[in-house]
Amino acid sequence: MPQPVTASGTREVPHARHRVWGALAVLAPYCAVCDVSYVVDGAGAPGRGTRFVCVPGRLDEGVQPPPGAPQGEIVEWVPQERVTTRLRLTPETWTTTIELADAGPGATRVTITVSHEPHSSGRLAQRLTQRLMRGGVREMVQRTVAGELDRLPAHVEQLPAT
């Protein structure tokens, strides 16, 4: 079974933890920063076990995601401290953990950890290809973490003022 490739990074933002949590952990129907729509199963507040589908772009209200859209699930939920999501795509699974900690008055330290795990059918050629691509995957995972950290301010800024 292939080993996941993992990268992590930390950044401080000049916002209170509850505000950062609301910007990063709550699945809004549309995120303009990422240009991604989320369709959440069920009603009520999200938490561990909440399932969702995400698709690029904005979905109009009532429009269903296309068949085969990436399926996600919240696998860990500790309000205002940590959320972990797992997103399954056909050839791979992406796991993202966001951890929040106070970094002083009105500031929050955000740590984002992303793991990429390819799905393997056990074929020798496929395993060899995955091994050869591992360096490229490692760079992609590191770029994903860096991009998420760079977008932190924009995620907080899109929230209504409180």
Specify whether the CB–CB gap between 118 and 140 falls below 8 A: no
Single pTM value for the model = 0.86
pLDDT at 85: 96
44-55 burial string, b = 16+ CB within 10 Å, else e?
A: eebeeebebbbb
Residue 74's beta-bridge partner residues?
A: 85
Tell me which amino acid residue 14 is: P
Q: Looking at 19-28, 36-45, 121-130, 143-152, which range is the least confident one? A: 121-130
pLDDT at 125: 44
